[in-house]
Amino acid sequence: MILLVLIMAALSLKSCEPCCVDKVYSITIENKLIDTIQVYASLNYPDTSISEEKPRLKMVYPNKYSRIDSKEKWEDILPNNTVCVFILSKDTVDKYSWDEIRRDYNILKRHDLSIQDMKNSQWTITYP
């Protein structure tokens, strides 16, 4: 009888496991440069201006990759089905204030990607 109770308890815990594990949805950024870049994602498309407040930038070292993560599916959080990914030079971020970067739109590249674009690229952006 005790063995049966233990087996039932173990099975009920096992079936609950997926609901207790945090799922992360990632966009991978690959840096093929010899310089370090920094990136962030904006959900404000079609507004393609640089964020007024400096966002948390993700560092992507030369010939490495980093991820922009979401705890929700990107499909569920993009109001216009498109994410803007801004790529900036680390040197620029180190040298200039965020206000100057915004004013001069001093970015290396901006990717405006739909969910379908992201699926087609397997959720990976390669720079350059």
What would the pLDDT profile of 7-55 be if each residue is shown by its tens digit?
455 545 444 445 556 899 999 999 999 999 999 999 999 999 999 999 9
**Whether pLDDT at 88 is above 90:** yes
- Predicted local confidence at residue 42, as pLDDT: 96
Q: Is there a contact between 50 and 100 (Cβ–Cβ < 8 Å)?
A: no
**Whether pLDDT at 108 is above 60:** yes
- Predicted local confidence at residue 26, as pLDDT: 97
- Predicted local confidence at residue 21, as pLDDT: 65
Which domains, ranges and CATH numbers included, belong to the chain? Answer: 23-127 (2.60.40)
Beta strand residue intervals within the chain, DSSP E: 25-31, 37-42, 58-60, 65-70, 82-89, 109-114, 124-127
